[in-house]
Amino acid sequence: MGVPKFRRKYQTEDPTKTKSKRLELEDFLERTYKSAISQILSYFSQQATQENSAKKWRENAATLKSLEGFMLMVNKQLNEVEAKAERLIKRYVATAYKKGQDEASKTANEQMKQKNMPMVSAMFTLKHQQAIQRMANLKLKDIKAINEDLRNAIRKSLVKSADEGWSIDQTRKVISDLLTKDQKVKKVDAVVFGARIRGRAQAIARTSVIQAYAQGAKDHYQSLEDDGIIVRKEWVATVHMTGTTSTGSKARRVASIGRTCSVCHTLDGKVSDLDGKFRTTADGKTYTYDTPPAHPNCRCAIVGKVVGFE
């Protein structure tokens, strides 16, 4: 069984407490895409019915003339998605980053108080501002990649529509499926692709927040180290308890492996130098991480361990 030993008290709640923020951003990104897609679709219907009667759609689309005009509209919509996503991601990354800093400051101060060390509050400087910008830019690059794929997929569908003589309704449905279909694998390329877009937008939303939180925490611990306070980082995973098993009279709690992946399970409780990497082996592969996330749905965090003065 892949259940690790009950080493210490597990964190059973999301240690970052950022779930609502992650879901909010996910929802915003999805709505942004949905509204762009519905604009694209209504434009398509208009154009297709104005310029081509259903039976003429094939011939006209085949000339690629109406296709180019349509792609201009697609580009305009996707550029708007990019602009909106940029603002959203930056806002959520900044919030999560500052929260990570503040929580790290609280954690460190509690320990420093016990060690009779002077407390240090979290600072927000240009350096931190730049860290936020860097992270937001990386995520925006992912959004751009999604949009590029979406553009290509729409174009491909339209060409295929013309080649194979799909009806306007059929074509409209395929384009709509590009984004809105749930994760079902169907034989039409476009549908499989659609599931990927939604999944990728979700992954961006989730990793943005978790990563920004972890980076904010790490940067705060780093600033303590810059002041000569030695801090180690501990990986804390969210581990769900699903029940108990009885061994004699003693009940043992069993950690669920259902929602925590094997990588995060093995990382849980590992301690590293602040500059070091967390390293683990799971399913025969070796993984290294500076901070969470270990994967898109990761709900892990780092917690500082104040060691003392240098």
Report in angstroms how near the CB of residue 18 gets to Zn ion at its nearest: 13
Smallest separation, CB 268 to Zn ion (Å): 8
Q: Which residues pair with 271 in a beta bridge?
A: 234
Min separation Cβ 8 and Zn ion, Å: 17
Supply 280's token pair. 């683990």
* Residue 300 within binding range of Zn ion, rule CB under 5 A: yes
> How far apart are CB 237 and Zn ion at their closest, in Å?
5
Residue 291 gets which letter from DSSP? Answer: S
- 7 or 187, CB closer to Zn ion? 7
18 contacts: CB under 8 Å, gap ≥ 6:
96, 99, 209, 210, 213
Residues 216-275 that bind Zn ion (CB under 5 A): 264
Q: How far is the CB of 302 from Zn ion (least distance, A)?
A: 11
CB nearer to Zn ion: give 23 or 117.
23
β-bridge partners, 246: 251
- 216 touches 100 (CB < 8 A): yes
Of 13 and 163, nearer to Zn ion (C-beta) is 13
Binding map of Zn ion across residues 278-297, x = CB under 5 A, - = no contact: ----------------x---
Give whichever of 95 and 207 is closer to Zn ion, judged by the CB atom.
207
Nearer to Zn ion, 62 or 282 (CB): 282
Go through 156-194 and write b for each residue having 16 or more CB atoms within 10 A of its CB, e for each that does not. Answer: ebbebbbeeebebeebbbbbbbbbbbeeeeeeeebbebb
Give the tokens for residue 268: 């849980």
Binding site for Zn ion (CB under 5 A): 264, 294, 298, 300
